[in-house]
Amino acid sequence: MSGTYQVIARKWRPQTFDDVVGQDHVVRTLKNAIARQRIAHAYLFVGPRGTGKTSTARIFAKALNCPGGPKADFDPADPVCQAIADGSHLDVIEIDGASNNGIDQIRDLRDTVRYAPAQGKFKVYIIDEVHQLSAQAFNALLKTLEEPPAHVKFIFATTEVQKVLPTIISRCQRFDLKPIPTELIVERLQKIAGAEKITVSAAALQSIARMADGGMRDAQSVFDQMISFCGAEITEADVLDVYGLVSAEKIAALAAALAAGDHQRLVAIVDECDAAGRDLYRLLVDVQANVRAALLDSIAHRGNSKALGAPMTTEQLTRLLDGLREGEGGVKHGLSEKINFEVTLLKAVEHSRARAIDSLIKEISAIAESLPDDGSKKNG
């Protein structure tokens, strides 16, 4: 083993289909396509950053070009698979759409597509961030996509599918990769911690996963930074301090103050968090997650929830969440983060306590209908 240091996100990059976390629907479909020999000529992987688009593309390329392939259960230690993993295989060509967005690169691709593969069964072109290709490059690519040689496979990856030409999308099999659930990120980080001999608390892992917003690579990069900062032992307090996060308990306390309409408590918690140098925009996002969980709880329990402490109706929680969402721009881009945050919280409380006009009209109508025509009370 060489002494070269590898960051965790690269060292623990998925090497086989079974390593891919949180994208079972994509893995199952690709495995079935290989087993049934129904391999399309072009694939489009869509999803947020760090969810496994390029990793899955490379794994698929290994499955196509491994000895005896195409097969889904290839040996990742095989020299061919190793070459694909480290980018040295002649028939798996990776193009970065962000830096190679010119027409020349796509013209080169169009010229080389015709030649047979040098080593494997297929020539596989992986184009990352395909939405960044110029219009001319897109049109040049389209010609090749319409009638590709049998030995060529295209795999495109993008975070912004709305910018990809519909004519390209219509020629691809599309796969949507989802943000990875927090519990799966925690599970993976626990496995990495065990292998790397790092002691890390469950609360610290939860905080790291929460911050990653569904991106495994982001979570691994944060974890890597925490190891550099703390060494072999990481606590929740370390993660909160380094990244300006607020503890789960304090987030819950803020959500409870919102539900109870306790203005003093709200302002006191914001003061504490601001004095400790916490990221108030991140706190707003985390509080929204708590309110949303309560909203789902109220829907499951016939329109009422006590998840935030005080009993609230579905309507109140919807209005509270809407009020918090409306203040996002002000907190993120406004001149005073703290003032905008306080105003957002206080407005959201008022918003949740105001009655929707249509529900009031319904109630008044129901009362009016129960009264006799002359307005006097009905007898017994």
Summarised one tens digit per residue, pLDDT across range 243-254 is 999 998 999 999
Please name each of the domains of the chain with its CATH number.
8-176 (3.40.50.300), 182-243 (1.10.8.60), 248-358 (1.20.272.10)
Report pLDDT for 335. 85
pLDDT score for 1 = 42
Q: Mean pLDDT throughout 208-230? A: 93
Q: What is the rounded average pLDDT for all residues in the chain?
A: 89
Q: Which pLDDT value is given to residue 165?
A: 86
Q: What is the pLDDT of residues 124-177, one digit of tens each?
A: 999 998 888 888 888 888 888 888 888 999 999 999 999 988 888 999 999 999
More confident residue, 335 or 373: 335
Helix spans in 261-336 (H): 263-275, 280-300, 314-326, 328-333
- Residue 98's pLDDT is 75
Give the model's confidence band at 115: pLDDT under 50 very low, under 70 low, under 90 confident, else very high. Answer: confident
Mean per-residue pLDDT, 172-189: 94
312-313 and 304-305 beta bridge pairing: antiparallel
pLDDT at 305 over 50: yes
State the Cα–Cα distance between residues 286 and 207, nearest whole angstrom.
11
Comparing 39-53, 87-101, 270-284, the range with the smallest average pLDDT is: 87-101
pLDDT attached to residue 377: 54
Spatial separation of the C-alpha atoms in residues 107 and 317, rounded to whole Å? 55
Residues 291/308, Cβ–Cβ less than 8 Å: yes
Q: What is the DSSP string of 194-244?
A: HHTT-EE-HHHHHHHHHHHTT-HHHHHHHHHHHHHHH-SEE-HHHHHHHHT
Q: Do residues 318 and 340 touch, judged by C-beta distance below 8 A?
A: no
300 token code pair: 């499951």
Q: Above 80 in pLDDT, residue 208?
A: yes
pLDDT band at 370 (very low <50, low <70, confident <90, very high): confident
Between these two residues, 148 and 30, which has the higher pLDDT value? 30
169 CB burial (10 A radius; 0-12, 13-18, 19+):
middle
Question: What phi and psi values does residue 335 have, to the nearest 5 degrees?
Answer: -70, -40
Q: Taking the CA atoms of the chain, what radius of gyration do you get in angstroms? A: 27
Per mean pLDDT, which range of 67-81, 85-99, 229-243, 278-292 is the poorest?
85-99
3-state secondary structure of 19: helix
Apex 323 CA angle, 322 and 328, nearest 5: 95
More confident residue, 253 or 359: 253
Q: Tokens 């991106």 appear where? A: 215
